[in-house]
């Protein structure tokens, strides 16, 4: 089939999926279904068609034992949505020669499970917004996108420190708009390493937004250790802890400065800060990588 014929077969929803794969590297069958389809069967059928025309590439998930397919950008998808985010292990490395090379980097990445876990939180928010009329994930940026955007803002502000969160989003629900930075923790790093990540946010708070930093951890014990370590420690950015298994839109977050009842994501304190290249003055403004009305 000629390339032009294959391009004509791509729908608006297909393009949304390809944009996500271009920036966020990998999504599972279940994640794609939750974000874009009415059923798992419909998702599988369309993904099989997209694989057939080489819009996506796929490989079996060996990180969780689920046996489902994981999807990356295919040769046709890379033509339609070329990306600067080529290597999940290290930004700035030489671009892959082909989409197959890029897929092999993702498959072989030591961060594959971490990528899937990070993406899962945003997929959960998108899925929630599909069934709640006034909820919207207005921005979903990857680690490399966020790092690059805030590094540019840091340079413009004369600061030598930038942040490197696992993801960044802007969430709108119940009439409130909350930005956030996600630190997805699988429990493999020493607690001190997790806490040291907060230093960059202190500098960002001087010239940029004051969005809550979400420390999402795998279990209650690790969460309690973080809460104990941060008790009575003032932070320029709000910091909240949460668990992998709790829905991120709901009452899943504990503020370190007020460890009482868990709060909904939209209830967390959030200050969008001054107008700058990274945040934009309007929290819902778009810049080509925002989540569109599909969700």
User: pLDDT of the chain along its 295 residues, tens only?
Assistant: 688 788 889 999 999 999 999 999 999 999 999 999 999 999 999 999 999 999 999 999 877 777 899 999 999 998 998 877 766 666 656 666 667 778 778 887 788 899 999 999 999 999 999 999 999 999 999 998 998 888 866 655 555 557 889 999 999 999 999 999 999 999 888 888 888 888 888 888 888 899 999 999 999 999 999 999 998 788 889 999 999 999 999 999 999 998 889 999 999 999 988 654 444 433 333 334 555 434 3
Q: What's this model's pTM, rounded to 2 decimal places?
A: 0.88
Q: How far apart are CA 281 and CA 200, in angstroms?
A: 22
- The correct answer on CATH 1.10.10.10 for the domain covering 3-110 is yes
Q: How far apart are CA 215 and CA 162, in angstroms?
A: 18
Q: How far apart are CA 115 and CA 223, in angstroms?
A: 20
Alpha helices in 25-141 (DSSP H): 29-36, 40-52, 75-80, 99-107, 112-131
Q: From residue 140, how far is each of 62, 66, 137, 167, 174 by CA, in Å?
A: 26, 26, 7, 7, 19
Q: How far apart are CA 175 and CA 136, in angstroms?
A: 11
């Amino acid at each position: 089939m000629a390339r032009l014929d294959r391009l004509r077969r791509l729908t608006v929803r297909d393009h949304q999926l390809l944009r996500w794969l271009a920036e966020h590297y990998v999504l599972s069958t279940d994640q794609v279904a939750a974000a874009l389809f009415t059923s798992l069967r419909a998702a599988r059928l369309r993904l099989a068609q997209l694989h057939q025309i080489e819009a996506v590439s796929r490989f079996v998930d060996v990180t969780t034992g689920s046996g489902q397919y994981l999807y990356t950008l295919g040769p046709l998808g890379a033509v339609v949505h070329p990306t600067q985010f080529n290597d999940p292990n290290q930004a700035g490395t030489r671009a892959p020669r082909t989409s197959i090379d890029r897929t092999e980097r993702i498959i072989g990445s030591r961060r594959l499970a971490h990528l899937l876990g990070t993406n899962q939180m945003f997929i959960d928010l998108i899925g929630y917004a599909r069934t709640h009329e006034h909820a919207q994930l207005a921005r979903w940026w990857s680690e490399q996108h966020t790092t690059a955007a805030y590094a540019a803002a840091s340079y413009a502000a004369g600061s030598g420190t930038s942040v490197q969160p696992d993801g960044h989003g802007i969430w709108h629900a119940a009439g409130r708009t909350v930005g956030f930075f996600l630190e997805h923790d699988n429990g493999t790093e020493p607690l001190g390493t997790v806490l040291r990540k907060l230093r960059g946010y202190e500098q960002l708070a001087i010239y940029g937004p004051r969005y809550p930093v979400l420390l999402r951890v795998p279990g209650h014990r690790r969460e309690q250790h973080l809460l104990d370590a941060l008790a009575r420690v003032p932070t320029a950015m709000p910091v909240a802890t949460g668990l992998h298994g709790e829905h991120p839109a709901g009452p899943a977050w504990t503020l370190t400065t007020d460890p009482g009842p868990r709060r909904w994501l939209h209830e967390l304190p959030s200050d969008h800060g001054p107008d700058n290249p990274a945040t934009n003055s309007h929290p819902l403004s778009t810049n080509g990588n925002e989540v569109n009305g599909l969700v």
